[in-house]
Chains A and B, each alone.
Chain A
Amino acid sequence: MKIQILPALKLTLVTVLLCCIGYTLLILLVAQFSPNKAEGQTISVNGVIKGYALEGQSFTQDKYFNGRPSAAGYNAAGSSGSNKGPTNPDYLKDMQTRIDSFLVHNPSIKKEMIPSELVTSSGSGLDPDISPIAAQVQIARIATTRKLSEEKVKDLVIEKTQKPLWGLFGTEKINVLQLNIALDELK
């Protein structure tokens, strides 16, 4: 047994060289050729960074399309889900409050039209997307607040809708940040 200690020590050193240092440096090298050197892709408006392309941000104002509720408050340095169980009474009460608040802000929408993703918090607390239905139920509010025609806003939503992967796999979605930036540019 004693004769196995030295090989084990040396082998551990070898794995540090291979897996910790060699592998990391190799991936780091390839990273220099990837978008924004793999430091995270940002989105800028007029040269000012407005956010990270992949990460959602908080939109609570009526003039913007709202994203999903976030247990982390869209803190991109502390991702978190709510971890609420499906039958938790306090959680269901919070859901009811969110539904009521949505109805107040969107008076033309009936309760049965609200998609659950707009009142449930995402897994990461940083979900950048909503489904097309979740955008559609907000069109009337946006149009009224911004004094735009509903048609125009609707066209923008359709334009920003991303099809499933290769048109076949997964969900349809809309990136809320991109949608809102485009909305700000809409005349």
Chain B
Amino acid sequence: MNTEILGVVLMFVTTILIALPLGRYIGKVYSGHHTWLDRILHPIDRIIFKFIGVNPEKEMNWKAQLSALLIINLIWFLLSMLVLMTQGVLPLNPDNNPSMTADLAFNTSISFISNTNLQHYSGETGVSYLGQLTLMLFQFISAAAGMAICAVVFIAMKEKVTDKLGNFYALFVKSITRILLPMSIVIAILLLFAGTPMTFKGKDQFVSLQGDTVNVSRGPAAAMIAIKQIGTNGGGFFGVNSAHPFENPNYFTNIVETIAILLIPIAMIFALGFMIQKKRFAWMVFGIMLLGFLLFLIPSIYLEMKGNDSIRKMGITQNLGSMEGKEVRFGPAASAYWAISTTVTSNGSVNAMHDSLTPLTGMFAMLGMMVNAFFGGVGVGFLNFYIFIIIAVFISGLMVGRTPEFMGKKIEAKEMKIAAIIALLHPFLILVGTALSSYIFAHNPTFYAGWLNNPGNHGYSEMLYEYTSSSANNGSGFEGLGDNTPWWNISCGIIMLLARFLPIIGPVAIAGILAQKKYTPESAGTLKTDTGTFGVMILAVIFIIAALSFFPALTLGPIAEYFSQHS
């Protein structure tokens, strides 16, 4: 078999093999069971909780959990604004990069606290080393916040009547010390020995073989790259992210980084199965997500390996495939695999330029973000899926004339209203954003010529992709978009903010309300939620809500571009 395809198979199989035990481990961590790191970390935990003045045993209800989450995020936002707008004069700035403008700092701050990592700056010139380390902090804590809040929902799904759903601070600290930090350390060390820089020295200079003088950006990159991959953050150290030879030196590191994208999102599903003691249900969820993932992945790999049809007409050979925006050391198959992995999860790191993907692969990348629940971001991916489950339970309940029940709890109008609003929020934000910017552009294309790097349908796709990425808290981009302007900084900032917190508040509220309801044990009249039939039902709901509401928008972009190539 082709060695490129074999590489993809290897990455996928290894991911699953690691995710299974990791999921069990995460489940144990959140359930408070004994794990191997406890001996070192228990004393540290005690010091931390004593210092912050919180009793980690004291459980909180869902409202207290949410207010804890929102308050700490507000503090992070202020801290980030402060550092980014003054980094030019602060220490650790050997390359003398400037402070950010207010609108860019606003966008970047929200982008990193919301786990999006949309970057309207370029790493080499836009941030100091102190700025990079601050952003790296948010990569840890935004991921940990998402995982903690997901654990709250897991606890709420247990079959009992309670309003006590664990302690947010305890779940948050455990996510960092027991999951994110150890995994990041392993990955950072692997990167170091492959050649990724980790130094506080500034730019270097040399004269090339041909006689050109070349400056080389360096920095404390290895530490940041590890957590950006593991925590579905995606914000790279260098401008072109993991396409950069320092950020992703060879095929081996590419395997490591690609595995890191999907690892925790997949493991969280198995953690759920462990925590609520319903393995069958977890496998059903995994199966549906996997099916959706493969549905986007297989055609994308095929299309990228086949090459760009417009180039084929020029009569040259595309022995590797479509190579614009790709690196030879990865090749099109591994690049397509990364492109789909990074968009179905809300990671958003790239190892090839998505703007130059063939039209339909670009569409599958967008669809991954439009669904945003096939694995999804660390923690929040499952919350999105949870909304689809609630809707599917309700609809199938109506179809077969049974009371809609999920995990022994009755789903009623209030929960359904929340679920419907959250499900519609995502298309609303994306389509309204794209419509507004298209309107502005179309009314003065010469004035806004700097926005788009490509004409016609593809230019429109650049705008659609940007808002999709913002609303999915993804962070990748069709980077041809000239996005460091007040309009893009502010509009994307607002969308990232709404799209981060409302889809967290909604599912937590539903789960919290359900947890307080009376528990009805499963009977012959209960709708089974761990069967293939119910899985198909969820898939249908996802297809109707996510795919169909975006179909008209996709028709104007990638689909029209595809047909223009073949007319």
Contacts and interface: CB of A to CB of B under 8 A. Distances in A.
Q: Please indicate whether A and B come from the same complex rather than being unrelated chains.
A: yes
Interface residues of A, number: 103
Nearest to A57: B208
B325 A76 contact: no
A123 B356 CA distance: 9
A46 interface: no
B310 A86 contact: yes
A90 B455 CA distance: 9
Contacts of B196: 38
Nearest to B54: A7
A89 interface: yes
Contacts of A78: 122, 124-125, 217, 239
Given A20-B134, A99-B314, A127-B328, A116 B323 contact: yes
A55 B192 contact: no
B240 A79 contact: yes
Contacts of A91: 324, 454
Interface string A124-168: 111111110100000000000000000000000000000011001
B480 A130 contact: no
A19 B136 CA distance: 8
Interface string B30-57: 0000000000000000001001111000
A4 B68 contact: yes
Interface residues of B, number: 123
Contacts, number: 368
A181 B71 CA distance: 58
Interface in A18-63: 18-20, 23-24, 26-28, 30-31, 34-35, 37-42, 45, 48-61
B212 A57 contact: yes
Interface in B170-197: 172-173, 176-177, 181, 184-185, 188-189, 192-193, 195-197
Contacts of B308: 86, 116
A9 B76 CA distance: 9
A84 B245 contact: no
B317 A95 contact: no
B552 interface: no
Interface of A: 1, 4-12, 14-16, 18-20, 23-24, 26-28, 30-31, 34-35, 37-42, 45, 48-61, 64, 68, 74-92, 95-96, 99, 111-117, 119-131, 133, 164-165, 168-173, 177, 180-181, 184
19 contacts: A7-B52, A10-B53, A14-B51, A18-B176, A24-B220, A28-B198, A38-B222, A42-B206, A52-B206, A57-B209, A76-B216, A77-B124, A79-B244, A85-B454, A116-B317, A131-B319, A133-B319, A168-B3, A170-B4
